Structure 1
Amino acid sequence: MKFRFSKTEIIHLILSAMLITFLVSFNIKSEVSAVIRIALVSTISLIFAVIIQKLVGLKYGLEAEYRIWAFREYTKPPKSFLRAIEDFFYDYTGILIPLAVFLITNAFWPFLAIASFIIKRPLKIRTGRFPFIKEKEVSAVAFFGVLSYLFVGLILNMFAPSGLIETKIPFLLALYSLIPLPNLPGSKIFFGGRITYIFTLAVTLSLFVLIPLLSVSYSLIISIAFALILAGVYFYGMESGIKNPFSLERPSIEIGWKFLFVMILISLIFLFLYFTNVNIITVISLAIVITTLAIVLYYYLIGTKK
């Protein structure tokens, strides 16, 4: 199967770019040039993400196609007028809900849960490969789509002046894509691997918050570190198989509290990176004080258990 864009896909991409441009620029007193920039960023973000998703899909033998978010992917022919209205809502959720939020909030909240994709069918099956679509493969397609938005956002913030609304559009698309509602990329990542979902969500949220405050390099380093810590905590607490992982019973106490100490020290390092005007002696002293207090708390809790 060749790399291609279908007619339906192109129509959905054009409608999505137009809707995003309308929602983002409507409430902004901006010039025509700003609206054009918003339209360009929206279009580039969508097309780049779709290209990456298609390439990842081809790697797994899947045909991925861009679609405006539909709450229900497949609908039967309607048998009544009410059923036709219901099906219209399910088929064009990514248009109706953003417009409804737009009207309810008086254009204050640009709800950008618009972009999604479908897997039309497995491509030609290789010898020894079953013709089934695996959740992890679909999750990988969704995951790299979200990473594509983040990549575009980072590139924009490296070269564009800070404070421009269009530099936030790729991060907003990534955030809204990660909402775990049916047929949004977030739900596909979540069911493909919860740890991957936690990591992706943490990175995206961190970048969205830190990019306006820090340089791109610092924001990326801190976001990845924060996401790794959060994913590690989730894995240790929820999926490691350890019963009561942070309880005061051995042997979990040794692993859990040591892990907590490491998190505290890493957090202090990044606090130092952020507050670059703080003297390093102050940071080291603070680290010693906090670690000492944590150790004292540890032994106090052990004593109370005895």
Structure 2
Amino acid sequence: MRVVYTDAAWSLDDNGQVDPSRAVIEREVFGPDVELDFGLHDGRFLLDGPEFHRHVRGASALVIYRCQVTRELLDAVGPSLKVIARSGVGVDNLNAPLLEQAGIAGFNIPDYCGDEVSTHTLALLLALERNVCTQDRLVKGDRWSVHAGGLPRRLAVRTAGIVGFGRIGRATARKLRAFYDRVVAYDPYVPADLMAAHGVARADDLAELFGAADAVVVHAALTAESDRLIGADALAHARPGTLLVNTARGRLVDVAAVLDGLERGRLGGFASDVFSPEDPNDDPVARKLLERDDVVVSAHRAFLSAESERSVRRRVAQGVAAALHDSSSKRDRTTS
């Protein structure tokens, strides 16, 4: 059996080259009977096209990170494919309907990095609140000034809002309550009683949330329903100077609407760990955001810690191994 890790960032050495010897956890889980293979990388991982499709042909399992599951990918691998694992929380690139139609198992790891993402969310938000990044740039540029970057506001009298109240939204709520006077959340699939158990008030819609909050953090799942959820309509209800932070998925937020909100003063700052496309330098609108002092960004690493990386790697490998074993057992029963 052959397992292909299409775009495992942990497999890259310090020179940006794929190093199979790094797969210590994976080899421990799979044992000697499973062949491990890794993605094609030349500055970036190759995730589509003829060369990539030749590389994955005949795999028993795929482990994907940013790679998109498409009909072309499934056809390229062929009938040997039994399972696809998403090495992460999101399912937007796993394409569950297609996998179900093809009879291929698929899974993600939804709960391995709640502490990391919620902490990163607070780090970005507090950097905006206290103008930390602006001060850092100015002082390092020999422009020392106490008041540069504007006057911060007192958080103990402010309200924070959360869009999406799943595992990570709830972890973030607990941390927000240490800084803000009040926390409200919008999630049409979570009842007010559950939010109340976490000390959070429920908003019935985005208009109510943005109308109440001084800062809003985004933790929603990306689905067809939530694509560009935070756009011009939602931001029209924001209080002047509202801060917005996205550590979920890039396509949840319309960056053109964010740029307009910043230019008009509707938003007081924006921080994001995620963009679509992945690197904001590849998008002309996002590049304009990068030029602004009221924007703070990171490179889709909110999930990252030594502990979370070890955990997700082991749990993915264990899930793939179990799926392959189950598939093999079914085949043996059928042929016996």
TM-score band, normalised by the shorter chain?
under 0.3
Normalised to the residue count of structure 1, the TM-score between the two structures is 0.24
Larger radius of gyration: 1
Of Structure 1 and Structure 2, which has the larger fraction of its residues in helix?
1
Q: TM-score, normalised by structure 2?
A: 0.22
